[in-house]
């Protein structure tokens, strides 16, 4: 579906507008592969900074049925779960509408402590995620990414 919707690649504002039209997923349980989207400069910028962060090698997310999860990274040919998170339903920081949000606890590395990932259903097995910030000047900034359901982390 996202290949047909140019709003994901036009601008951050157009990706946020698309996000506002979507509904929250019923649950996040499962393994999800990640894909960076957005205007051309955003995935390029992320490809420079991600290798320097705790999420070096980020390839997706995994959630269990109780609403807890972790980010998945690929390191030395293996997929590892790092940076725990919790799934909650709450209003979106971007538009106030319902969303499923991955929140990070106080034990999270400082670079992610003020980040939340919001999710809405884009297709049957695809979520549009928006990385949001719990900081006054960045509250309305949303950085888009896709999550696609995979059978398990060996498929990443």
Q: What is the DSSP letter of 4?
A: G
- Per-residue pLDDT, 2: 45
Task: Report, as an integer, the average pLDDT of 54-75.
Answer: 94
Q: Would residue 156 count as lying in a domain?
A: no
- Indicate the pTM of the whole model: 0.91
> What is the residue whose two structure tokens read 């957005």?
38
Q: What are 113's two structure tokens?
A: 């402590």
Return the H-helix or E-strand segment holding 69.
Answer: strand 68-75
Q: Would residue 155 count as lying in a domain?
A: no
| Count of domains for the chain | 1
- Per-residue pLDDT, 3: 55
Contacts for 155 with CB less than 8 Å, ≥ 6 apart: 31, 33
* Euclidean distance between the first and the last CA atom of the chain, given in angstroms as a whole number: 20
Domain CATH for 36 = 2.40.128
Q: Would residue 68 count as lying in a domain?
A: yes
Residue 124 domain boundaries: 2-150
Q: What is the DSSP letter of 42?
A: H
Lowest mean pLDDT among 3-12, 93-102, 118-127: 3-12
Q: What are 47's two structure tokens?
A: 């490809």
E strands of 16-156, at which residues? 30-36, 58-63, 68-75, 78-91, 98-103, 115-123, 126-133, 143-150
Residue 135, SS3 per DSSP: coil
pLDDT digits over 70-116, tens only? 999 999 999 999 999 999 999 999 999 999 999 998 778 777 788 99
């Amino acid at each position: 579906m996202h290949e047909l919707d140019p709003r994901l690649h036009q601008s951050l504002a157009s990706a946020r507008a698309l996000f506002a039209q979507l509904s929250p997923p019923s649950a996040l349980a499962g393994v999800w592969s990640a894909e960076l989207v957005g205007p051309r400069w955003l995935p390029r910028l992320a490809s420079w900074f991600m290798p320097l962060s705790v999420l070096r090698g980020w390839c997706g997310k995994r959630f269990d049925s109780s609403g807890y999860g972790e980010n998945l990274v690929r390191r030395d040919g293996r997929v590892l779960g790092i940076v725990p998170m919790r799934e909650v339903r709450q209003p979106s920081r971007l538009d106030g509408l319902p969303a499923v949000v991955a929140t990070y606890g106080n034990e999270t590395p400082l670079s992610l402590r003020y980040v939340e990932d919001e999710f809405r259903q884009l297709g049957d097995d695809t979520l549009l995620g928006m990385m949001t910030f719990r900081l006054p000047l960045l509250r309305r900034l949303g950085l888009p990414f896709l999550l696609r359901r995979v059978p398990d982390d060996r498929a990443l």
